[in-house]
Structure 1
Amino acid sequence: MATWSYVDCGFDTDAIQLKSFEISPDPPQPGKDLTITVKGRAAERIEDGAYADVTVKLGLIKLIQRRFDVCAEARRANASVTCPVQEGEYEVVQTVTLPKEIPPAKFVASVRGFTMDDRDLVCVDITANFLPQPK
C-alpha cells in the first residue's frame, strides 16, 4: 500500500496560503482515479502570467522538471477556479487517473509557484511512496 505526505514550504507572505491538502483514496493506488482537494486562501488577486516550476524526482534522478502556466493549466483542466482569482477562500477539487505502471518506488514532487511579477505564490513538497510497506 502506498503512503504519501506533503509539506507546506511557503511563507506567510505568499499570495496563496494553503489550509489543507487531501487525497482520495488515501493511500493512492496505481491505475485508479485520484481526487485531490486543496483548500486555501488567495491573499491577493492572481492574474494570468502566474507560473509553477515542478520537479519530480525518483531518488536523486529527476524524472520531470517543467514550468507550467498556472492559469492556462487551470483552464485546460476545467478547474473550478480560474484566473483571474480574486482574494478569498477557495476549495479546488481535481481528479486524475494514476498510471497502472507506477513502479514500486518513492517519488518526491516539488512545486514552487510565482506570481506574474515573480513574487512567491505557493510552495509545496509532496512525497508519494509506492514501495511495499511492512505489515
Structure 2
Amino acid sequence: MKLSSFSLLPLALLPSINASFATDIFSYANSLVSSQSGEEARMHSQMSKDGPISIMDSWTWTNCGTAADVVQLKSIKVSPDPPVPGKNLTVTVDAEVLQVIEDGAYVDVTVKLGLIKLLQKEFDVCEEAKNANATVQCPVQKGPYSVSQTVELPKEIPKAKFSVAVRGFTVDDEDMVCLDLLVDFMKRPGSV
C-alpha cells in the first residue's frame, strides 16, 4: 500500500511505507497498548509549541517551521474527521512553495506511541512522489499548491495516541518543512 507521496508532503509521507510494514508497526503498537498499565498508556511525547496549533476532533497539527522554510504550510484537512482505522482517509494540504524543490529533497519521519519510538525513517520526497504517480513531481516549482490524496488506513491501528514528527530538508540541507502531528485513535466514531 504505497499510501503517499509529495502530494501530501508532511502528513502522508508516513504512510508511504508499504502495507505489511504499516500493519507490522500498528500490530506492534497494539501489543504495547494492551501490555501497558493505565498510567503508562496516558503518557505521550510533548509536541513542539513553536508554531500555531490547529486542533481538530481527534488530531492536531503544529507548524514548527519558520518563515524561511521552503514549504509554508497553510492548512491540513482530513476526511473523515476523526480518521477511522481500516477506512479511506482523504488528506488535503494547502501550502506555498517558496523555492524550487529538486531531486534529493528528503524528510525524516518519527512516529511514537507515547514515549516508544515505532518508526524513524528518512524518505526521499521526489522518489516517493514518482513511485506514487503523484500530481506534483520534482522539480516542484514555486507557487501555491492545494493537493489531496486518499489513503487507506490499516485496520490494525490500536486505540492509542500517536505523535508524528516530520522534518523536511532540501537537497542542500536547507529547512524545507517542520510539522508535528498528534493523532488520537482512542476516540472512535460513534463511541462515547
TM-score (structure 1 length as normaliser): 0.95
Cα-Cα RMSD = 1.3
Residue of structure 1 in register with 2:144 after alignment: 89
Structure 1 residue 54 displacement after superposition: 0.1
Q: Which amino acid aligns with 1:64?
A: L
Rg bigger for which structure? 2
Q: 2:90 matched to 1:35?
A: yes
Residue of structure 2 in register with 1:62 after alignment: 117
Please tell me whether the aligned partners of residues 114 and 120 of structure 1 are also in contact (alpha carbons under 8 angstroms). yes
Gaps of 5+ in 1: none
User: What secondary structure sits across from 1:73 in the alignment?
Assistant: helix
Bigger RCO of structures 1 and 2 (CA < 8 A, at least 6 apart): 1
Structure 1 residue 132 displacement after superposition: 3.8
Residue of structure 2 in register with 1:113 after alignment: 168
User: What secondary structure sits across from 2:128 in the alignment?
Assistant: helix
User: What secondary structure sits across from 2:127 in the alignment?
Assistant: helix
Q: Which amino acid aligns with 2:104?
A: G
User: What secondary structure sits across from 1:125 in the alignment?
Assistant: strand
Cα distance in 2 for partners of 1:132, 1:13 equals: 36
User: What secondary structure sits across from 2:159 in the alignment?
Assistant: coil
Gaps of 5+ in 2: 1-56
Bigger share in strand: 1
Q: 2:156 aligns with which of 101, 113, 116?
A: 101
1:7-26 paired onto structure 2 within 5 Å: 7-26=62-81
Cα distance in 1 for partners of 2:69, 2:164 equals: 19
Q: Which amino acid aligns with 1:15?
A: V
Cα distance in 2 for partners of 1:41, 1:65 equals: 26
Residue of structure 1 in register with 2:184 after alignment: 129
Q: Runs ≥4 in structure 1, deviation > 4 angstroms?
A: none
Please tell me whether the aligned partners of residues 58 and 187 of structure 2 are also in contact (alpha carbons under 8 angstroms). no
Bigger share in helix: 2
TM-score (structure 2 length as normaliser): 0.67
Please tell me whether the aligned partners of residues 79 and 92 of structure 1 are also in contact (alpha carbons under 8 angstroms). no
Percent pairwise identity: 59
Please tell me whether the aligned partners of residues 110 and 117 of structure 2 are also in contact (alpha carbons under 8 angstroms). yes
